[in-house]
């Protein structure tokens, strides 16, 4: 499960929304440490706080209280500009759908975060091709998103999430729009990347996806209510 370094350390993290019906504690006093290279599957019923938690870890949203340390940075101490830079250089996001820009090829989509970070266009494209190979899409770089399958589109989104030096991937229901066989391929791709050192936190409604995880974190009403070893961690023993 990777080495001892922690990629993500959350302590007492809360996100409270003021709504017409009173305060909503979308994330409520969450503590979690994720090791470098670990694969976490986040489960829980609709409204349990999975998306809110992923957005906090990725710096897309700010916590109401508590401490978030991501890749060695205390997020509360970062300006918006430094947060944006951390996201661009180090963190990849994958969503349920519409991950790719339709007017760009897969290679151009994957290269996008690098072009914003100052590498030359040729170097960005070379690294994009490398990332496409890592997710099993070698040769598909010149295609446009509507010229490949839904599963291939998600794997391209995963390539973009890990392109260059990016080591932390946050995925919100990445298999939600896919049939189960295609979803399994996408989860396997994520598993392989974690085995090569990427850290992934992946939300899902599908209990079968626990099979790929090192640990399964279950949320309910904004809290972590259970953490169990995934099948990948127990390798054959019952969890």
Q: Which is nearer to Mg ion, 51 or 204 (CB)?
A: 51
Select from 7, 28, 52, 90 the one that contacts ligand ATP (CB under 6 A): 52
Q: Residue 193 CB: number of other CB atoms within 10 A? A: 23
Residue 229 sits in the site that holds ligand ATP (CB under 6 A): no
Select from 51, 99, 109, 204 the one that contacts ligand ATP (CB under 6 A): 51
Select from 37, 49, 66, 145 the one that contacts ligand ATP (CB under 6 A): 49
Cite the DSSP H helix spans in the chain. Answer: 50-57, 80-90, 106-115, 121-134, 150-162, 180-195, 231-234
Select from 6, 13, 26, 198 the one that contacts ligand ATP (CB under 6 A): 26
Minimum separation from the CB atom of position 66 to Mg ion (A): 20
Total number of residues that touch Mg ion (CB under 5 A): 2
Distance CA 115, CA 123 (A): 9
Interface stretch with Mg ion, choices 44-52, 101-109, 113-121, 123-131 (CB under 5 A): 44-52
Burial of 3 (0-12, 13-18, 19+ CB in 10 A): exposed
Residue 47: which of ligand ATP, Mg ion, none does it interact with, CB under 5 to 8 A by kind? ligand ATP
Distance CA 220, CA 239 (A): 20
Distance CA 239, CA 234 (A): 6
Residue 89: which of Mg ion, ligand ATP, none does it interact with, CB under 5 to 8 A by kind? none
Residue 230 sits in the site that holds ligand ATP (CB under 6 A): no
Distance CA 91, CA 60 (A): 11
Residue 51 sits in the site that holds Mg ion (CB under 5 A): yes
Q: What angle do CA 224, 227, 231 make, to 5 degrees?
A: 145
Cβ pair 162, 194 in contact under 8 A: no
Interface stretch with ligand ATP, choices 17-25, 77-85, 99-107, 116-124 (CB under 6 A): 17-25
**Which residues here bind Mg ion, judged by CB under 5 A?**
50-51
**Which residues here bind ligand ATP, judged by CB under 6 A?**
17, 19, 24, 26, 44, 46-52
């Amino acid at each position: 499960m990777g080495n001892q370094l922690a990629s993500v350390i959350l302590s007492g993290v809360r996100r409270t929304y003021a709504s017409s019906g009173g305060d909503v504690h979308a994330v409520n006093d969450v503590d979690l440490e994720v090791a470098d290279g670990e694969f976490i599957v986040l489960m829980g019923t609709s409204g349990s706080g999975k998306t809110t938690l992923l957005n906090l870890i990725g710096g897309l949203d700010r916590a109401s209280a508590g401490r978030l340390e991501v890749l060695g940075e205390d997020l509360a101490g970062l300006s918006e500009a430094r947060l944006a830079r951390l996201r661009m250089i180090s963190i990849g996001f994958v969503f349920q759908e519409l991950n790719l820009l339709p007017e760009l090829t897969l290679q151009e989509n994957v290269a996008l975060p690098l072009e914003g970070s100052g590498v030359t266009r040729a170097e960005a494209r070379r690294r994009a091709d490398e990332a496409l190979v890592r997710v099993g899409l070698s040769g598909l770089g010149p295609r446009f998103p509507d010229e490949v399958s839904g599963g291939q589109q998600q794997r391209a989104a995963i390539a973009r999430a890990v392109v260059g030096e990016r080591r932390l991937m946050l995925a919100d229901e990445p298999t939600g729009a896919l049939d189960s066989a295609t979803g399994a391929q996408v989860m396997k791709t994520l598993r392989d990347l974690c085995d090569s050192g990427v850290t992934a936190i992946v939300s899902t409604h599908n209990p079968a996806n626990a099979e790929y995880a090192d640990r399964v974190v279950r949320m309910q009403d904004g809290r972590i209510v259970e953490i169990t070893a995934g099948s990948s961690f127990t390798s054959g023993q019952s969890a």
